[in-house]
Amino acid sequence: MTKRTQQIAVPLISVILGILLGAIVMWIFGYDAIWGYEELFKAAFGTIRSIGEIFRAMGPLILIALGFAVASRAGFFNVGLPGQALAGWILSGWFALSFPNLPRPIMILATVVIAAVAGGIIGAIPGILRAYLGTSEVIVTIMMNYIVLYVGNAVIHSFPKSVMQSIDSSVKVGANATYQTEWLRALTNNSRMNIGIFFA
């Protein structure tokens, strides 16, 4: 088997086996697997709006997957992507709430850069420790996920009351900080699809 064929066959076989395993689990618990998958695909692809929602969810996931792929190419097994993404979300959200009157192009560019830098710093720590101290990047990146989670919670709880909606959630960011656009909303029947998919 050539390398190219293997690159195509492995993901394809994985998907097929996943579908078969899901069908077996549904059958064991007394459900109709064909009906289950039919409803699954209807919910995902049955309307323009649902397709737009898929693209909305895809953007962050594609970027996170690219982060893993780049690190993997360098021989670095990065399992700290949730923490790196969370650091980017928290700091870019903090920036958007702190400077609500910035022009939209500047706001969007700034939040993208801040999120990338924050995630990069969190990802660089395990890399530096591995390069200079020989630590396991797997252990350190897992630990960093929890460090970012708890530090992030502390940061969110320290936000001024003026930007907090409840004890653990902020008010919505301003319209100039959202990645949603009217033309994408109209194109996808009022879904939450946004320009984030184009960054990915």
Q: Are 119 and 85 in contact (CB under 8 A)?
A: yes
Helical H segments across the chain, by residue range:
3-28, 33-45, 48-73, 81-98, 104-133, 137-157, 182-187, 196-199
pLDDT at 169: 66
Give DSSP secondary structure letters for 11-31.
HHHHHHHHHHHHHHHHHHTT-
- Spatial neighbors of 187 by CB under 8 A, at least 6 apart, are 48, 52, 193
pTM over 0.75: yes
Q: pLDDT band at residue 139, thresholds of 50, 70 and 90?
A: very high
Determine the average pLDDT of the residues in 133-150. 92
Is residue 162 scored above 90 in pLDDT? no
b/e per residue 112-128 (b: at least 16 CB within 10 A): eebbbebbeebbebbbe
Higher pLDDT, 28 or 168: 28
3-state secondary structure of 63: helix
Is residue 58 scored above 80 in pLDDT? yes
3-state secondary structure of 33: helix
Give DSSP secondary structure letters for 104-120.
HHHHHHHHHHHHHHHHH
CA distances to 15, 17, 83, 85 from 32, rounded to whole Å, are 19, 18, 38, 37
Rounded distance between C-alpha atoms, residue 110 and residue 155, angstroms? 20
Is residue 165 scored above 80 in pLDDT? no
Determine the average pLDDT of the residues in 75-85. 89
pLDDT at 168: 63
Domain ranges of the chain: 1-46, 48-199
Residue 32: Cβ within 10 Å count: 12
Is residue 57 scored above 80 in pLDDT? yes
Rounded distance between C-alpha atoms, residue 67 and residue 79, angstroms? 10
What's the whole-number average pLDDT of the chain? 87
Lowest mean pLDDT among 56-65, 69-78, 171-180, 185-194: 171-180
Q: In this prediction, what percent of the chain has a pLDDT beyond 90?
A: 41
pLDDT at 199: 78
Chain segment 92-137, per-residue pLDDT in tens: 988 988 888 899 899 999 999 999 999 999 999 998 999 899 889 8
Rounded distance between C-alpha atoms, residue 182 and residue 63, angstroms? 23
